[in-house]
């Protein structure tokens, strides 16, 4: 597989957990990036950290990398080509898929290392 182009989305992101019965709060929306997943167990929100009110259970400090797509639904190994080298380097991630592409959240303090690992496997990371 040829190397992928990834783009660092500006800002710091947070992953939040609310009760599954809570309505989606207005602060969860963002023109930059937001993701809302509701299950019987939880309401999970990923959004810019600056949007999250105090007192909300969350983990901030995430950076967001966009895999520049779009990718066909039948494409195989796209996310794995990013996840596997990061896993070998001991770097955890949180992946989110959309209709057109995938996004990968990584802890901000590991960003430089993430870029080195991904570029070593012929991916390009564009900082904007």
Q: Tokens 């796209």 appear where?
A: 78
Tell me the per-residue pLDDT of 32-50, one tens digit each, with 9 for 90 and over.
999 999 999 999 999 999 9
Tell me the per-residue pLDDT of 43-81, one tens digit each, with 9 for 90 and over.
999 999 999 999 999 999 999 999 988 888 888 889 999
* CA-CA-CA-CA torsion sign (94, 105, 112, 76): positive
Q: Name every residue whose Cβ is closer than 8 Å to that of residue 100 and which is 6 or more positions away in sequence.
A: 69, 70, 71
127: burial class by Cβ within 10 Å (0-12, 13-18, 19+)? exposed
Tell me the per-residue pLDDT of 107-117, one tens digit each, with 9 for 90 and over.
999 999 999 99
User: pLDDT band at residue 1, thresholds of 50, 70 and 90?
Assistant: low
Domains and CATH numbers, the chain: 5-127 (3.30.2130.10)
């Amino acid at each position: 597989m040829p190397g992928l182009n990834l783009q660092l989305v500006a800002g710091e992101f947070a992953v939040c957990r609310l009760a599954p019965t809570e309505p989606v709060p207005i602060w969860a929306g963002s023109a930059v990036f937001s993701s809302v997943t509701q299950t019987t167990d939880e309401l999970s929100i990923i959004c810019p950290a600056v949007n999250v009110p105090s007192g909300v259970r969350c983990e901030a400090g995430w950076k967001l990398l966009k895999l520049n797509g779009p990718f066909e639904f039948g494409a195989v190994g796209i996310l794995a080509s990013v996840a596997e080298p990061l896993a070998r380097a001991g770097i955890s991630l949180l992946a989110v898929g959309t209709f057109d592409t995938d996004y990968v959240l990584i802890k901000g303090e590991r960003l430089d290392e993430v870029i080195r690992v991904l570029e070593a496997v012929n991916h390009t990371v564009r900082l904007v």
